Amino acid sequence: MTDPQEARREELRAGLERTRADIQRAAEAAGRPAPRLLPVTKFHPASDIALLAELGVHDVAENREQEARAKAEELPQVRFHMIGQIQTKKANHVARWAHSVHSLDSIKLARALDKGVALAKERGQREDTLPVYIQVSVDGDTARGGCPLDDVDELVAEVESLDQLELRGMMVVPPLGSDPQAVFEQVRELAGDVAQHLGRGLELSAGMSADMAAAIAAGTDIVRVGTGIMGPRPLG
């Protein structure tokens, strides 16, 4: 390993260590179990993700399909999770590489992903069903992604009817200007209600660097952290 690689490895190790310590402190303060950490690696090169893998990280999140697909092809030892908005026309691509999708927000997309997974299995590009999290829009502004609250039950029923998708939980990004704690608690309660109806547990994927403590206090199961681990977006 060259000196720059070793220096970058140390930066990533320190970022992971700090973030895990922050998570543990927030969990202890809230009297909650520590959630799983999902590093967000968008805009950062595959070489960084390879270094994370050497440091014991096996799951990362990406926002953009084309970027994520290229990285997944280069790094088959890492599981890539999609957290960004998905165009329906890209569903077949996502179905090939995504270990899970945290941004399911419509029946149209659910059906497209279901067909994409079936096709990927037929072509030998995938073996398992696709775990999905419904992204909830608490303010109804679907331009930022998310399923409006009034449509969640219908989307849950659709996912449950599809053979190739497995509903794992809910995801939320608080709207700008909102109280993150209140938003997280609202969606945690929603996930609990849906779980009770389905007769099985569902997870909450919520919290990024700026609002992680509030998400942990609300009982999130997964936090998605980028800059705190990876550092600033690379130039160029």
pLDDT in tens, 158-184: 999 999 999 999 999 999 999 999 999
Looking at the domain assignment, is residue 236 inside a domain? no
Taking alpha carbons only, the member of 6, 13, 15, 80 closest to residue 41 is 80
Mean pLDDT value of segment 26-35 = 98
Looking at the domain assignment, is residue 174 inside a domain? yes
Looking at the domain assignment, is residue 235 inside a domain? no
Looking at the domain assignment, is residue 131 inside a domain? yes
Looking at the domain assignment, is residue 73 inside a domain? yes
Mean pLDDT value of segment 78-99 = 97
**Structural domain of 199:** 3-230
Taking alpha carbons only, the member of 44, 76, 83 closest to residue 61 is 83
Counting the structural domains of the chain, the total is 1
Phi, psi of 33 (to 5 degrees): -65, 150
**For residues 71, 120, 103 and 37, what is the CA-based torsion angle, rounded to 10 degrees?**
-50
- What is the pLDDT at residue 236? 57
Looking at the domain assignment, is residue 70 inside a domain? yes
pLDDT band at 208 (very low <50, low <70, confident <90, very high): very high
**CATH for 147:** 3.20.20.10
Cα–Cα dist 147/163, whole Å: 21
Phi, psi of 209 (to 5 degrees): -50, -45
How many CB atoms sit inside 10 A of residue 64's CB?
14
- pLDDT > 80? residue 92: yes
Looking at the domain assignment, is residue 60 inside a domain? yes
